Amino acid sequence: NAGVTQTPKFRILKIGQSMTLQCTQDMNHNYMYWYRQDPGMGLKLIYYSVGAGITDKGEVPNGYNVSRSTTEDFPLRLELAAPSQTSVYFCASSYSGQRYGYTFGSGTRLTVV
Amino acid sequence: AQRVTQPEKLLSVFKGAPVELKCNYSYSGSPELFWYVQYSRQRLQLLLRHISRESIKGFTADLNKGETSFHLKKPFAQEEDSAMYYCALSPLLYGNNRLAFGKGNQVVVIP
């Protein structure tokens, strides 16, 4: 039982490049989330999903896209990387939303130069 | 919309001293409150949730609806408590299960 797995752990992008941050969970959780963590700013919700085929925007969705074709996978896509997207990205999942808390991945540290 | 406030960014305490991390929230309904912890170079993990009324690693937190607070306390800090702590809130609404996080408290326990 690996929990929530994120890849890659680190990445440096040039402005305008694109990439996909991968997230997969093996706990059969319906709910999955993407957060970004900026120093002194806490965690901001980018996108979330309540099940396969269903996604919705969080607080800071601009510049990102997601898809949820399976229960296990919830990739986050950056189409045109910008310096403002330099951050640590966390994927999380939960069984029934809020009641039991979230299980987080180890994070992806992204730098856009 | 829900909001979580953690007023102190950095808290330094001596080993053996009490530690209290403040968390206030604004939400019109009845929320679920959580504390998450992130140790150095580790992933964010759930520390405790108010609904469980539990003590984890010596930490406790009481939900005070009158003061809209959920402060985290430990009577005797240990060096291994040095970490980043986040207070989080989730509204008890069907279909709305997104956690809102505070900005976090960096706790440094001085030996």
Whether residue A14 contacts residue A81, with contact meaning beta carbons closer than 8 Å, is answered with yes
Residues of A with CB below 8 A from B51's CB?
A: 99
Say if B97 is an interface residue toward chain A (CB within 8 Å).
yes
Average pLDDT, chain B: 89
Instruction: Identify which has the larger pLDDT, B26 or B95.
Output: B26
Residues of chain A with pLDDT under 50: none
Mean pLDDT on B27-42: 87
Q: Does residue B52 register a pLDDT over 80?
A: no
Chain B contact for A2, CB < 8 A?
A: no
Nearest by CB to A98, from B42, B97, B104: name it.
B97
Is residue B23 within 8 Å of B65, Cβ to Cβ?
no
A20-44 pLDDT, tens digit per residue, is 999 999 999 999 999 999 987 889 9
Residue in the structure block whose two tokens are 């007023």:
B7
pLDDT at residue number B98: 77
Task: Provide the percentage of residues in chain B whose pLDDT is more than 90.
Answer: 59
Residue B96 has pLDDT above 70, yes or no: no
For the segment B33-60, the average pLDDT, to the nearest whole number, is: 88
Chain B residue with Cα closest to A106: B43
Is residue A88 within 8 Å of residue A109, measured between CB atoms? yes
DSSP state, residue B89: E
Q: What are residue B4's DSSP bridge partners? A: B25
In chain B, which residues have their Cβ closer than 8 Å to the Cβ of A50? Answer: 95, 97
- How many Cβ pairs closer than 8 A exist between chain A and B? 53
